[in-house]
Chains A and B, each alone.
Chain A
Amino acid sequence: MSFFLQFMIDVLSLGGAYALMALGLVIVYGILRLVNFAYGELIMVAGYTMYLTSGSGLPWLVMAAVAVLMAIMAGIATDYIAFRPVRAKSVTAVLITSFAFSTLLQNAALLFISPRPRNVPLPEIFSETVQFAGVITPARNLITIATAVVMLGLFSWLMRHTVLGIAMRAAATNFTMARMLGVPANLIISSAFAISGLLAGVVSMLWIGRVGAVVPGVGLEPLLIAFIATVIGGMRSLQGAVLGGFLLAFMDITLNFTLPQDLLKFRDAFTFSLVILILLWRPQGLIRGPASGQRT
């Protein structure tokens, strides 16, 4: 029983983080058909903001809020620098500019900060452990679960009950029709990037909180995780992305328990082969998203 509970906590906390990562990627992909390679760098930006503000003596929550804000700004910058100028051109061009923007941010961190890990401040509670019902777990895991629940709830409320959210869902299926109803394209695009940044910023606090340090390449793993979760969940479905995140966490943790050590190191090779197979079988991802749609 306590093993089961432990397992559930592990899956839910890892899955919660994965789900948020995937959601941040899919909100942009679903609406703009852009695979945003610079997504991982939004997480990096939030991490470095924490490092840079660490000497300020501000309460941790304030620093975290500033960091999330910076991730949002970086998201909007992605729109203005990498997306908007080339959006009318080819799909390939947009992919390449987002890849270039990712490299740009990473190397800016290398150049202006350092290639070496930098410590970020963590609140006390992140390093404490909690004991209940026969399980011992880091408090961080419970915080992650709680944050994921709150963020997913907030996100779902935004998408269902605000005009902006409804307009974004509409734009994901038929951007032109949404515009013909008066929904401004630029508002939708910037909102998608801003929400992506918000999710990345929050994930960053949880993700970087696991190790307490940030390096320029910190965004790669979350990006890869978001890719896999998104592909599992059907590349254009928001619910699918969340489900994909939890499924991936379940798979990862199960593999951790069951796979022998010398195969475990090939785990990425397995999961990415799985991604390829899924895409071959269903190029739209496992779960079908909105039926039709086109680019702007």
Chain B
Amino acid sequence: MLEIAGLQVAYGAIRAVRDVSLTLAEGELVTLLGANGAGKSSTLMCIAGALPAAAGAIRLEGQDVTAARPEVMARRGVATVPETRDVFPDLTVDENLQLGAYTRRNDTKGVAEDRTRMFGMFPVLAERSSQPAGTLSGGEQQMLVIARAMMSRPRILLLDEPSLGLAPTIVNRIFEMIATLKGSGLTILLVEQNASKALEVADRAYVMRLGKIEAEGTAAEIAAATDLKALYLAG
């Protein structure tokens, strides 16, 4: 469904991503692991269209989307949850969700249904629906960002470290949620530091180091490779 070949991303002289090739099949949950600064987030943001690719190609269902703008990627069914947990702080929870459904804003009925569904999945958000999103706790904001991404009924979800900075119980909730989403047939690319958790839910995994893919395999293979664990996986 998504194919990336020889991707490079640079911030001025800093080459954050040097050579990344990966594939994501329909309905698959693939995790991208690696230590801090490996270039995982840069890869993800480049797929989302928020960063320009310096070289390489990104193909979505066979079509070249390497230079596509972020709004085009969203329209094509790619939803992104960035690492920086970007809720719109002065918009209410409800307004945040409404914007999540921007690409299908004419389908009022469907949007209303999804909103109810999201509130069912995250009851906290229902309680806070008219509160500015900036006043939510970190965990609540993370839930909101995931819910917001789901409001577009994406076909591919790009998730960047959803567990970052959250308490273990909430991390567990989030991973349960990811498993549920996968169960519903969604294709997911999950960037994680928390390798053990990620490998529990993932089908396949890639390991990145210094901007390059260093290893790949099924989740079980990567989990079993003890040498990799020592080298790249924190936690």
- Residues of chain A at the chain B interface (Cβ within 8 Å): 163, 166-167, 169-170, 173-174, 176-185, 290-292
In the complex, are the beta carbons of B49 and A180 less than 8 A apart? Answer: yes
Q: How far is the CA of A184 from the CA of B148 in the complex (A)?
A: 17
Q: Does B200 contact A (CB under 8 A)?
A: no
What are 8 inter-chain pairs, A to B, with CB distance below 8 A? A166-B91, A173-B89, A177-B88, A179-B69, A181-B79, A182-B75, A183-B71, A183-B99
| Chain B positions within 8 Å of A291 at CB level | 89-90, 134
Given A163-B105, A166-B95, A170-B99, do A179 and B50 touch, yes or no (CB 8 Å)?
yes
Given A174-B88, A290-B89, do A180 and B105 touch, yes or no (CB 8 Å)?
no
| Chain B positions within 8 Å of A292 at CB level | 89
Q: How far is the CA of A292 from the CA of B82 in the complex (A)?
A: 15
Q: Smallest distance from the beta carbon of A9 to chain B beta carbons, Å?
A: 33
Q: How far is the CA of A188 from the CA of B71 in the complex (A)?
A: 12
In the complex, are the beta carbons of B50 and A181 less than 8 A apart? Answer: no
Given A163-B105, A169-B88, A185-B71, do A180 and B80 touch, yes or no (CB 8 Å)?
yes
DSSP class of A's interface residues: helix, strand, loop or mixed? helix
**Looking at the complex, which one of A166, A169, A180 makes contact with B70 (CB distance below 8 Å)?**
A180
In the complex, are the beta carbons of B82 and A177 less than 8 A apart? Answer: yes
Q: Does B86 contact A (CB under 8 A)?
A: yes
**Looking at the complex, which one of A167, A181, A290 makes contact with B74 (CB distance below 8 Å)?**
A181
Q: Does B29 contact A (CB under 8 A)?
A: no
Q: How far is the CA of A182 from the CA of B102 in the complex (A)?
A: 6
Q: How far is the CA of A166 from the CA of B92 in the complex (A)?
A: 10
| Chain B positions within 8 Å of A167 at CB level | 99, 102
Q: Does B103 contact A (CB under 8 A)?
A: yes
Q: Smallest distance from the beta carbon of A44 to chain B beta carbons, Å?
A: 33
**Looking at the complex, which one of A163, A174, A185 makes contact with B102 (CB distance below 8 Å)?**
A163
Given A185-B71, A290-B89, A291-B134, do A180 and B48 touch, yes or no (CB 8 Å)?
yes
Q: Which 9 A-B pairs have the closest CB atoms?
A: A182-B74, A182-B103, A179-B70, A177-B86, A170-B88, A182-B102, A180-B70, A184-B71, A180-B80
| Chain B positions within 8 Å of A176 at CB level | 50, 70
| Chain B positions within 8 Å of A166 at CB level | 91, 95, 98-99
